[in-house]
Amino acid sequence: MTEALDIEWRRDGIRGQGIRVRSLLPLFVATEMVTRDGVRAASVGSLGVRLTADDVAAAAWKVVHEGRRRLTSPHRPVGRQTKALAALSAVTPDWASRIVVSRLAR
C-alpha cells in the first residue's frame, strides 16, 4: 500500500512538490507493546530489543527531511539490526527467509 500511495500521490501536494509516502520498519521497540500480558514473544527473546521510541522518532524526522531520491524503496528500516536483516532478505530466497524467521520465532 505504501508503494501504491507513493506512486499515486507523487504529483499532488503544494506547488507540485508531491506527497511522499514512507513506511518506517523498526524491529522491536522498548515500549509496553513489546510484551503482552507480561509475556514476551519468542522472537523478542532471540532478537532482543535494541530500539527506543526516541530512535524511531529520530528516524521519522530524518525521513521527513530527506531529499528526493529517485527509484528507491519507500520503506525505511530503522536501526542497524533491521537494516542488516532487510539487506539479507533482499538477496535471500523466500524459502530461506521463512526458515530463518521460523527459527527466530521459537
Convert the pLDDT of each residue in 48-72 to its tens digit: 778 888 999 999 999 888 877 666 7
- Which helix (H) or strand (E) is 74 found in, with range? none
Convert the pLDDT of each residue in 23-54 to its tens digit: 999 988 877 777 666 666 667 777 777 888 89
Query: Cα Rg for the chain, rounded, in angstroms?
Result: 16
- The predicted pLDDT at position 93 comes to 92
Q: How far apart are CA 92 and CA 4, in angstroms?
A: 24
CA-nearest of 47, 55, 52 to 81 is: 47
Beta bridge partners of 26: 78
- The predicted pLDDT at position 13 comes to 65
